[in-house]
Amino acid sequence: MSRRLAGATVAALAAALLALRSAPGGGEFQRRELTIPARDGTQLFAVALVPRHATGPLPILLVRTPFSAAGAFDGADLPAAYRELAKDGYIFVAEDIRGRFGSGGTFVVNRAQNDPRSPPGINESTDAYDTIDWLVNHLPGNNGRVGVLGISYSGWLAGLAGVGAHPALKAISPQGPTTDTWLGDDFFHQGAFRQSQGLEFAALVDPDPKGFTPFEIPDSDHYDYYLRYPTLDSLARAAKVATLPSWVGFAAHPTYDAYWRAKAMQNVLTRPEVPILFVGGWWDAEDILGPELAYHTVERADSAGRNHIVLGPWVHRGWVDPRGDSIGPLGLGSNTAEYFREHIQRPWFAYWLHGKGDGRFPEAWAYETGGDGWRTFAAWPPPDARPRAIYLREEGRLAFEPPAELGARGGAAGAGHPASYDAYVSDPAHPVPYVPRPDDGSGWRTWLLRDQRFVSGRPDVLTWESEPLAEDLTIAGDVTAHLFASTTGTDADWVVKLIDVFPDSGDRALRGYRLMVNADIMRGRYWKDFGQATPIPPNAVTPFDVDLHEQLYRFRRGHRMMVQVQSTWFPLYDRNPQTFVPNIFRAKASDYRAQEHRVWHTARYPSRIEVRVLPAR
Report pLDDT for 617. Answer: 79
Residue 492 in contact with residue 423, Cβ under 8 Å?
no
Give the pLDDT of residue 408.
Answer: 41
Per CATH, 10-189+265-313 and 192-253 having the same topology is answered no
Asked whether residue 4 carries a pLDDT value surpassing 90, the answer given is no
Which DSSP state fits 511?
Answer: T
Beta strands in 416-509 (DSSP E): 421-426, 462-465, 473-487, 493-501
State pTM to two decimals.
Answer: 0.94
CB 177 within 8 A of CB 291: yes
Contacts of 231 (CB under 8 A, 6+ apart): 587, 588, 589, 592
| pLDDT tens-digit map of 53-69 | 999 999 999 999 999 99
* pLDDT tens per residue, range 401-423: 999 875 444 444 444 566 899 99
Give residue 242's pLDDT: 98
Q: Which CATH number fits domain 192-253: 1.10.3020.10, 3.30.70.980, 1.10.3720.10, 2.102.10.10?
A: 1.10.3020.10
Determine the pLDDT at residue 12. 29
- Measured N-to-C along each axis, helices 153-161 and 124-138 cross at an angle, to the nearest 10 degrees, of 70
Distances in Å between the Cα of 69 and the Cα atoms of 73, 235, 326, 435, 437 are: 6, 33, 30, 33, 36
pLDDT digits (tens, 9 = 90+) for 76-128: 789 999 999 999 999 999 999 999 999 999 999 999 999 989 999 999 999 99
pLDDT over 50 at 347, yes or no: yes
Name the packing angle between helices 195-205 and 245-252 (round to 10°). 150
Q: Cα–Cα distance between 43 and 104 in angstroms, integer?
A: 5
**Superfamily for 10-189+265-313?**
Alpha/Beta hydrolase fold, catalytic domain (3.40.50.1820)
At 444, the pLDDT band (50, 70, 90 cuts) reads very high
Q: Are 585 and 523 in contact (CB under 8 A)?
A: no
- Could you tell me which CATH class the domain 386-613 is placed in? mainly beta
* Digit-coded pLDDT (tens) for 446-498: 999 999 999 999 999 999 999 999 999 999 999 999 999 999 999 999 999 99
What's CA 1's distance to the chain center, in Å? 17
Using alpha carbons, select from 84, 113, 85, 108 the residue that is nearest to residue 98.
108
For the chain, percent of residues with pLDDT exceeding 90? 90
Looking at residue 412, what is its pLDDT? 44
Structural domain boundaries in the chain: 10-189+265-313, 192-253, 386-613
pLDDT at site 406: 58
341, pLDDT greater than 70: yes
| Residue 24's pLDDT band (cuts 50, 70, 90) | very low
Mean pLDDT computed over 169-194: 98
